[in-house]
Amino acid sequence: MNSLPRIVIFISGSGSNARSVIRHSKENQGYHVQRLYSNKPERGADSITADLDVELGLLSDEILAGPALFTKLNEENIQLVVLAGFLRKIPVSFLRGFKGKLINIHPSLLPAHGGPGMYGQRVHEAVIANGDTESGCSMHYVDEDYDTGAVIEQFTCPVLPEDTPKTLAARVLTLEHEHYPHVIHKLLNP
């Protein structure tokens, strides 16, 4: 086992950000992805772990809330838990245990367009409905509420007059893929 700082990634969806974070780890050796966890592995996590040779972990609400996962991640000396489209609420017990070591990415410039129910296309619909001329993504620490933890970094892109939620989502996602791995790398290699 290598001596790089270790992370785990939690996803619920297709995991395109997870793919980009894992690729970066293999190409740059700034951190090691110990495991990719999903509560819906058939949505994409299973093919990512097969393609990129990473261990797959299954999550359920019971596993998240119980002590075994927390103990395992501590024993493995996991230094960062990276959320990337993970749609289940993180229990307070887990949050407290990983305080300052749990980060998320959100597809808007927080505090704008965050909070309960603000995920996926809804975020981009809200940006366009609000007439914003700029959007982007936010990497932030996770606290006990939705999208309210301290922002680590934000990256911006324009909102074009002809944008639909779909075209804006694609532009923001490209920005996420480009920057999330670097933010993780910098946090672990200050």
Region near ligand GRF per CB under 6 A, out of 48-56, 105-113, 141-149, 152-160: 105-113
- Which of 41, 107, 136, 149: binder of ligand GRF (CB under 6 A)? 107
Neighbouring CB atoms inside 10 A of 185's CB total 17
The site map against ligand GRF for 108-147 (x = CB under 6 A) is -----------------------------x----------
Residue 80 touches ligand GRF, criterion: CB under 6 A: no
H helix and E strand count, the chain: 7, 7
Instruction: Please enumerate in sequence order all residues whose Cβ is within 8 A of that of 11, keeping only pairs 6 or more positions apart, or say none.
Output: 17, 18, 36, 37, 38, 44, 45, 83, 84, 85, 86
- CB 167 → ligand GRF: shortest distance, Å? 14
- Judged by CB, which is closer to ligand GRF: 72, or 101? 101
Binding to ligand GRF by CB under 6 A, coded x per residue (else -) over 149-188, reads ------------------------x--x------------
Q: Any residues with CB less than 8 A from the CB of 139 and at least 6 apart, and which? A: 103, 104, 105, 151, 152, 153, 154, 179, 180, 183
Residue among 24, 32, 35, 106 that touches ligand GRF (CB under 6 A): 106
Asked if 45 is part of the footprint of ligand GRF (rule: CB under 6 A), the reply reads no
Q: Annotate 103-172 with DSSP letters as a single string.
A: EEEESS-TTTT-STT--THHHHHHHHHTT-SEEEEEEEE--SSTT-SPEEEEEEEEPPTT--HHHHHHHH
Write out the catalytic residue numbers: 106
Please report whether residue 105 would count as binding ligand GRF according to CB under 6 A: yes
Enumerate binding residues for ligand GRF (CB under 6 A): 11, 13-17, 84-85, 105-107, 137, 173, 176
